[in-house]
Amino acid sequence: MKIEHCLRSVKDPEIPSVSVMDLGMIEEINVSDDSIVHIKALPTFLGCPALEIIKKNMIDAVSAIDAVSDVNVEFIYHPPWTSDRVTDDGKEKLKQFGIAPPPEFDAQNHEWKVECPYCGSHYTTMENLFGPTACRSILYCKSCKNPFEAMKPISNLM
């Protein structure tokens, strides 16, 4: 529990309001007899340049616990990270940062309904499928006239 608490302080370097726990990136935490912590984490996008920084920050945070002798972080690909792993708490924090949480993926219609993180309206349009980072898109709210970003839905159905 203490380890999880520490990991809540490790934020996404590009979205400082959400932690690796909020994003659902942590798959497994094991502590071996010699007090070595083994963490298995899932990358959101494979080409994400923040992965190495996140890994280092996780090691630093967990190493700060007195009883821990060493920390070992491994990125794994099974199960794959999908956007439904973002916790409810994480979704709220994304909104606070001005990013709409990942909408549900509709495999039939290829359509997403994205709620504006500022005013809650559904009257929004896609400006660019791709945004400032691999995991985000750029949208525009026609109700409150604000541009905003949304996390892309990522699903096993794709």
Partner 1 sequence: MGQLNVNENQEYKQLVIELLYQLADDDFILAFRGSEWLGLAPHIEEDIAYASINQDTMGHAVMYYELLEALGEGPADLLAHGRKAEHRKNAILLEMANGTGTYLENPKYDWAFAVVRHYFYDIYKKLKLESLKQSSYEPLAQAATKMKMEQYYHIMHWKVWFNQLCLSGGEAKTRMHAAIQQVWNEFAGVLTYGKHSLQMSQYGLIEEESLFKKRWEEEMRRVFEDVAISYPGDPKMQKGNGREGVHTDDLIQALATLSEVYHLDPQATW
Footprint of partner 1 on this chain (CB under 8 A)?
Answer: 45-49, 77-78, 80-82, 110, 127-134, 138, 152, 154-156, 158
Please, are residues 70 and 122 in contact by the beta-carbon 8 Å criterion? no
Please, are residues 18 and 12 in contact by the beta-carbon 8 Å criterion? yes
As measured in angstroms, the least distance from the Cβ of 65 to partner 1 is 27
Question: Is the Cβ of residue 93 or residue 152 nearer to partner 1 in the bound state?
Answer: 152
Q: Which segments of 42-118 are extended strands (E)?
A: 70-75, 99-100
As measured in angstroms, the least distance from the Cβ of 155 to partner 1 is 7
Question: Is the Cβ of residue 16 or residue 132 nearer to partner 1 in the bound state?
Answer: 132
Distance CA 19, CA 21 (A): 5
As measured in angstroms, the least distance from the Cβ of 7 to partner 1 is 22
Question: Is the Cβ of residue 50 or residue 116 nearer to partner 1 in the bound state?
Answer: 50
As measured in angstroms, the least distance from the Cβ of 135 to partner 1 is 10
3-state secondary structure of 18: strand
Question: Is the Cβ of residue 57 or residue 137 nearer to partner 1 in the bound state?
Answer: 137
Question: Is the Cβ of residue 81 or residue 148 nearer to partner 1 in the bound state?
Answer: 81
CA dihedral 60, 6, 85, 143 (to 10 degrees): -100
Q: Which residues of 67-76 are buried (b: 16+ CB within 10 A; e: fewer)?
A: ebeebebebe
As measured in angstroms, the least distance from the Cβ of 99 to partner 1 is 16
Distance CA 103, CA 68 (A): 38
